[in-house]
Homo-oligomer: A and B are copies of this chain.
Amino acid sequence: MPKGQPSVVPDDGLTTRQRRNRPLVAVHTGDGKGKSTAAFGLALRAWNQGWPIGVFQFVKSAKWKVGEERALRVLGASGEGGTVAWHKMGEGWSWVQRDPTSNEEAAREGWEQVKRDLAAETHRLYVLDEFAYPLRWGWVDTAEVVEVLRQRPGTQHVVITGRNAPSELIDAADLVTEMGKVRHPMDDGQKGQRGIEW
């Protein structure tokens, strides 16, 4: 239950209003559940504000997010809130004509489109789902990502999910949550189930 009260008042030359509307970089990391789920939950708030939302799924198999995808597509098409553009690496990015030769190349092509969209201020919320992995693996350069995020124009919020987010990204983020696993049914031999895991 957030109280909305800051614990300190900063001396940064910004008005409360400017500070309030400062665009955020959020990172959801850790080995527990809820990293992506919370990012898509955040998208519900953005949708309610009427914001254009861009989702980029940096995973080869997108079977785990079918519920979120369908729900956000229905919401985006409802005309009652913001729009939703949903991009999946697993099915090939829509803007790429030929098949990428590797997941590494595909991840880079995803990031190049994110850069173009940020420069054009296409969306107001970006969900870069599982983007921590290509960063961790060095497929996309974290220093470049941090610099692009730092320089992005306008009011564009960016949420990045995935285990083991690089420390340079965490240092550059405004909001970082670590989802820690306390207990998970798979530890006891239970397999994932529909409606819960996807």
Contact = CB atoms under 8 A, between A and B. Distances in A.
Interface in A55-98: 59, 64, 66-68, 70-72, 74-75, 78, 80-81
A102 to B, nearest CB: 17
Contact of A197 (B4, B170, B176): B4
Taking the full assembly, how many copies of this chain does it contain? 2
Pick the 9 closest A-B CB pairs, nearest first: A45-B67, A37-B41, A48-B67, A34-B38, A10-B189, A176-B182, A41-B41, A44-B71, A38-B38
A123 interface: no
Contacts of A189: 6-10, 12, 19
A9 B185 CA distance: 11
A32 to B, nearest CB: 4
B183 A64 contact: no
Contacts of A101: none
Interface of A: 1-2, 4-10, 12, 16, 19-22, 24, 26-30, 32-42, 44-49, 51, 59, 64, 66-68, 70-72, 74-75, 78, 80-81, 124-125, 130, 133, 157, 170, 173-198
Contacts of A170: 182-183
22 contacts: A2-B64, A4-B197, A6-B189, A7-B186, A19-B191, A20-B192, A20-B193, A24-B185, A24-B193, A33-B38, A33-B177, A34-B41, A40-B44, A45-B194, A46-B195, A47-B67, A48-B66, A48-B195, A49-B194, A70-B81, A78-B78, A179-B180
Contacts of A78: 74, 78
A78 B74 CA distance: 8
